[in-house]
Amino acid sequence: MLISKNPRNRNGRKRTSFRKQVLKRDDYTCQMCGNFKNLEIHHIKSWHMYPELRWEVSNGIALCHKCHRVAERLKLFFKRVNNKWKTVGENYVRKQM
CA-based nearest residue to 71, from 45, 37, 35 = 45
In a domain, 5, yes or no: no
Q: What is the pLDDT along the chain (97 residues), one digit of tens a residue?
A: 334 455 556 668 999 999 999 999 999 999 989 999 999 999 988 888 889 999 999 999 999 999 998 888 777 666 665 666 666 554 444 444 4
Query: Does some domain include residue 84?
Result: yes
Residue 60 inside a domain? The answer is yes
Q: What integer pLDDT is reported at residue 31 of this predicted model?
A: 92
Instruction: Note whether residue 46 is domain-resident.
Output: yes
Full domain range(s) for residue 47:
13-96
The predicted pLDDT at position 73 comes to 79
Tally the residues of the chain: 97
Picking from 19, 29, 15, the residue whose alpha carbon sits closest to that of residue 85 is 29
DSSP conformation letters of 33-61: T---SSEEEEESS-TTT-GGGTT-GGGEE
Does 3 reside within a domain?
no
Answer yes or no: are the C-beta atoms of 97 and 66 closer than 8 Å: yes
Q: Is the pTM of this model over 0.85?
A: no
